[in-house]
Amino acid sequence: MAMDETREPTRRDFLYLVTAMTGVVGIGAASWPFIDQMRPDASTLAMASIEVDVSSLVEGMSLTVKWRGRPVFIRSRTQQEIEAGRTTALDDLKDPLARNANLADDQPATDVARSAGEGKEKWIVMIGVCTHLGCVPLEQAGDFGGWFCPCHGSHYDTAGRVRKGPAPENLAIPRFQFISQTVVRIG
């Protein structure tokens, strides 16, 4: 048979094709339960984000909510707390990074970078877990008027930046946004 000649498909070619396609479909059907079980269940998806009404918080008050099994501190800071955060020199901080999931990883830990942003500086939303050994700090305590972890003595300022003690990093800020003037979505 010459190279330029083509042959007609036979019944055997058809059976090979049908057998191969049946095998592919069978493998796909058999593996689907294994693939499907890797998706998160409904309870996990429900915890992916929460919406919190902060309309009842007045200046100086805090609210602790649970998100993904961890406490989240939401605080309406006073003007004095904001000023204390603004006047802190970045050289005085143990951790110079903002640790804000809403910003670039290399963002400096200024007071605005740790807050809800320009125009919403009074709001601070942080994961309430000490970065030393995972304890929950006490609010409005410590040497800097922010948070204090009594377990090992870490002190955080009014912007949640570690200032003293064994904690290596600032309190983490989760991804969040204000979806209205009084409702914040975390996650």
Q: Which positions are annotated as active-site residues?
A: 152
Tokens representing 31 are 């593996």
151 burial (CB, 10 Å; 0-12 / 13-18 / 19+) is middle
Laid out side by side, the sheet with 62-67 consists of 62-67, 70-76, 123-127
Residue type, 133: L
Q: How far apart are CA 65 and CA 74, in angstroms?
A: 8
135's CB contacts (< 8 A; 6+ apart) are 129, 149, 150, 151, 152
- What's the rounded Cα separation, in Å, for the pair 58 and 78? 9
